[in-house]
Chain A
Amino acid sequence: MTAPLLDVRDLRTEFHTRAGVLRAVNGVSFTLARGEILGLVGESGSGKSVTGFSLLGLVDPPGRIAGGSISFEGQELVGLPPARLRELRGKRIAMIFQDPAATLNPVLTVGAQMALAVQAHGGGGDRAARDLAARSLARVGIPDAVTRLDAYPHEFSGGMRQRVAIAIALLHQPDLIVADEPTTALDVSIQAQILAEMKALARENGTALVWISHDLATVSSLADRVLVMYAGRIVESGPVAQVLRAPLHPYTRGLLDSLPAMGRPGEMLAQIPGSTPSLLSLPPGCPFAPRCPRADAACAQDPPVVGTEGRMALCHHPLT
């Protein structure tokens, strides 16, 4: 067995706020192989984005990585000097955000900013940079890539702008892309185009992908494995089809059953009562217990890991 590309152990990321310490990522562990697509799902506030930012060393004060390890090709990223992290970012590890405006500079042409990104990592002269940029745009399905290099971001539609952001992420053929809800703001027809392209890219280039989404259906159609996050923890993980067909954690079951696609039209959906807890001053024990149909006195204690590393859940009373 070869070593994984990414090995995350007991990652803890906290925010020190006036109201107290907020544990946004609370002991997260997972591995990712080369070329693998890993879905990270959960409802808003569960810690998905902070997990993604932590992987890239992009957590700013008042946030900080308070513990754990992120090993990328055997190199420890936690505690790495900012200059070294910057070098890795963009070149070996790239991030795509929900809002492409986070990546794109509105006053530079797409070609100019792509050339800057190429040259920031020593990518050769203007001519070579422009060629690389055009090829990257063409790869993500932008027609007339060479002419489009001279366009400004606002001259692209929302879907095309997100493609430009993806093309920038792909410039250096990174080994790992962390994509945070990249299609959430897009229409389904554009989303389907981008999902198809991302899947092909991961397959063809062996790029590993962490795909963050609140949408189980998107993840099920894209990812090889899935992590289900709740209140800062991975509560279940495994191969996508196994997790969706036979979830171990009552939260995963509840999420699936809440989907209109799983119900019968016009009939009541199975619903999870209550709402997600505040991550400030989370009491000990299972954070899902107050909403869980299987909870009992045991759930006041921290839940055990059941299953194996490849197919696990964090639960006192897993479904079987």
Chain B
Amino acid sequence: MTAILAAEGVTRRFAPRVTLGDRIAAALGARVDRRAVQAVTDVSLAVTRGETLGLVGESGCGKSTLGRMLAGILPPSEGRVLLDGAPPMRAGHKTTTRIQTVFQDPFASLNPRQRIGEAIAEGPVSHGLVTRAAAPKLAADWLARVGLDPAYAQRFPHQFSGGQRQRVAIARALAMQPEVLVCDEPVASLDVSIQAQVLNLFLELHRALGLTCLFISHDLAVVRHVSDRVAVMYLGRIVEIGEAATVYAAPRHPYTRGLLASVPKLSLDGAAVEFQPIRGELPSPLSPPAGCAFHPRCPAATDVCRAQRPALSPRADGTLVACHHA
């Protein structure tokens, strides 16, 4: 059990984004908040070699920000990220090809006029992993490996469907021979039948190549399916982390419980489904509640929760939970 990738007390702040709504509000005389957003606060975690660590939480809780810091493409404001003991990023630049990423919309960053074969081989050639002469074969091999016709190397990005795009993105990332793959919502925009195809491909390649993976998704069922361990985030912090089987079967943090209870279940026996929603709404990350950030919505909150932030602390079975009462 050795950690290959670790975050040590990482925090990330962003300067405020001014949206259209803010401009309209400002024009109408409303006061617009210009404080910095703290997207991730003091997160420490370690990803073990060969495992898939799932990262779940609702939108805005900081999953992508944490993922980008771990991938070495976004510098932390505080704390550090270590890949085998060395930072994957120096002076604002990614210094390693050992970590690759797959995003929800993988073609956003592709040149629409570049053929897919070239897009796949570009990185490996420029990093000297293969010669330019071997590039076409590399692209064809990877296309076949992800279940696409090698002849698709000649196609342009717009000629691919959503599921095919994710296959290409996986091929493009893996052609760099990474040890760590950071996947951020890789199946979020896919239909279930296509999602199943991509998840199967992911599981197969993960095993065959012995990859280490951080798998980010808002979909709890997807994360359960692919992950060995899972981390649950709320308002920029990890509130629970442990073996996926344990966390899903016996969630300890009231937020994890509420989240799991909110997921609609397939009701096969026709029994009436009772929803048990978490009450209230996510507070603004601009002004997180004092003490435990979840206390205003928590059914178990007491005075200590309002006053003191619970530390992420280990339980007998190895799960870490940040709760005064769990």
Tell me the bound Cα distance from A244 to B269 in angstroms: 9
Contact B281 A221, beta carbon cutoff 8 Å: no
Query: Does A320 belong to the interface (CB within 8 Å)?
Result: no
Q: A187-B218, A261-B221, A265-B245 are in contact. Are A271 and B193 (CB under 8 A)?
A: yes
Contact A189 B258, beta carbon cutoff 8 Å: yes
Type the 1/0 row for B117-135, where 1 means its CB is closer than 8 Å to any CB of A: 0000000000000000000
The residues in A between 263 and 320 inclusive whose CB is less than 8 angstroms from any CB of B are 263, 265-273, 275-276
Q: A259-B192, A269-B200 are in contact. Are A190 and B281 (CB under 8 A)?
A: yes
The residues in A between 223 and 273 inclusive whose CB is less than 8 angstroms from any CB of B are 239-242, 244-245, 254-263, 265-273
Tell me the bound Cα distance from A261 to B219 in angstroms: 11
Tell me the bound Cα distance from A314 to B270 in angstroms: 23
Query: Does B316 belong to the interface (CB within 8 Å)?
Result: no
Closest Cβ of chain B to A180, distance in Å, is 16
- Interface residue from B24, B59, B259, B273 paired with A152 (Cβ < 8 Å): B24
Q: A187-B59, A189-B277, A244-B267 are in contact. Are A107 and B24 (CB under 8 A)?
A: yes
Query: Does A216 belong to the interface (CB within 8 Å)?
Result: yes
Chain A residues near B244 (CB, 8 Å)? 265
Tell me the bound Cα distance from A217 to B24 in angstroms: 38
Task: Tell me which of A25-33, A66-74, A87-95, A154-162 binds B.
Answer: A154-162
Question: Interface size class for chain B?
Answer: 35 or more
Contact B266 A220, beta carbon cutoff 8 Å: yes
- Interface residue from A217, A239, A266, A272 paired with B225 (Cβ < 8 Å): A266
Closest Cβ of chain B to A251, distance in Å, is 9
Question: Interface size class for chain A?
Answer: 35 or more
Contact B264 A193, beta carbon cutoff 8 Å: no
Contact B265 A268, beta carbon cutoff 8 Å: no
Tell me the bound Cα distance from A107 to B124 in angstroms: 51
Contact A196 B24, beta carbon cutoff 8 Å: no
Tell me the bound Cα distance from A215 to B258 in angstroms: 20
Query: Does A82 belong to the interface (CB within 8 Å)?
Result: no
Chain A residues near B308 (CB, 8 Å)? none
Query: Does A138 belong to the interface (CB within 8 Å)?
Result: no
Contact A191 B262, beta carbon cutoff 8 Å: yes
Query: Which A residue sits closest to B56, measured CB to CB?
Result: A188
Contact A220 B24, beta carbon cutoff 8 Å: no
Type the 1/0 row for A125-166, where 1 means its CB is closer than 8 Å to any CB of B: 000000000000000000000000000101101011000000
Tell me the bound Cα distance from A273 to B163 in angstroms: 12
Contact A154 B282, beta carbon cutoff 8 Å: no
Type the 1/0 row for B149-171, where 1 means its CB is closer than 8 Å to any CB of A: 00000000000010100000000
Contact A275 B259, beta carbon cutoff 8 Å: no
Query: Does B58 belong to the interface (CB within 8 Å)?
Result: yes
Contact A155 B220, beta carbon cutoff 8 Å: no
Q: A107-B24, A154-B21, A269-B199 are in contact. Are A216 and B161 (CB under 8 A)?
A: no
- Interface residue from A152, A268, A273 paired with B28 (Cβ < 8 Å): A152
Query: Does B191 belong to the interface (CB within 8 Å)?
Result: yes
Chain B residues near A263 (CB, 8 Å)? 225
Tell me the bound Cα distance from A276 to B194 in angstroms: 10
Tell me the bound Cα distance from A155 to B30 in angstroms: 10
Closest Cβ of chain B to A152, distance in Å, is 7
Chain B residues near A193 (CB, 8 Å)? 275, 277-278
Q: A154-B25, A258-B195, A260-B221 are in contact. Are A244 and B262 (CB under 8 A)?
A: no
The residues in B between 243 and 291 inclusive whose CB is less than 8 angstroms from any CB of A are 244-245, 258-259, 261-270, 273, 275-278, 281-282
Tell me the bound Cα distance from A154 to B225 in angstroms: 36
Q: A192-B264, A217-B266, A221-B267 are in contact. Are A157 and B224 (CB under 8 A)?
A: no
Max chain A CB contacts within 10 Å: which of B28, B219, B270?
B270
Max chain A CB contacts within 10 Å: which of B58, B204, B275?
B275
Contact A271 B277, beta carbon cutoff 8 Å: no
Chain A residues near B269 (CB, 8 Å)? 241, 245
Query: Which B residue sits closest to A242, measured CB to CB?
Result: B270
Chain B residues near A155 (CB, 8 Å)? 25, 30
Query: Does A214 belong to the interface (CB within 8 Å)?
Result: yes
Closest Cβ of chain B to A188, distance in Å, is 4
The residues in A between 181 and 211 inclusive whose CB is less than 8 angstroms from any CB of B are 187-193, 195-196, 199
Tell me the bound Cα distance from A262 to B268 in angstroms: 11
Chain B residues near A269 (CB, 8 Å)? 196, 199-200, 225
Tell me the bound Cα distance from A43 to B22 in angstroms: 36
Query: Which A residue sits closest to B227, measured CB to CB?
Result: A265
Contact A188 B281, beta carbon cutoff 8 Å: no
Query: Does A218 belong to the interface (CB within 8 Å)?
Result: yes
Max chain A CB contacts within 10 Å: which of B30, B191, B265, B266?
B266
Tell me the bound Cα distance from A258 to B227 in angstroms: 17
Query: Which A residue sits closest to B273, measured CB to CB?
Result: A221
Query: Which A residue sits closest to B193, measured CB to CB?
Result: A272
Can you give 25 A-B contacts (C-beta < 8 A)?
Answer: A43-B191, A152-B24, A152-B28, A187-B58, A190-B277, A190-B281, A192-B278, A193-B277, A196-B275, A216-B192, A218-B264, A220-B273, A221-B273, A239-B270, A241-B270, A244-B268, A254-B193, A257-B196, A259-B266, A260-B224, A265-B226, A268-B203, A268-B204, A269-B199, A273-B197
- Beyond the given pairs A155-B30, A221-B275, 8 more chain A to chain B contacts, judged by CB atoms under 8 angstroms and listed by A's residue number, are A157-B281, A192-B278, A241-B268, A241-B269, A257-B196, A260-B219, A269-B196, A271-B197
Chain A residues with CB under 8 Å of chain B are 43-44, 106-107, 152, 154-155, 157, 159-160, 187-193, 195-196, 199, 214-218, 220-222, 239-242, 244-245, 254-263, 265-273, 275-276
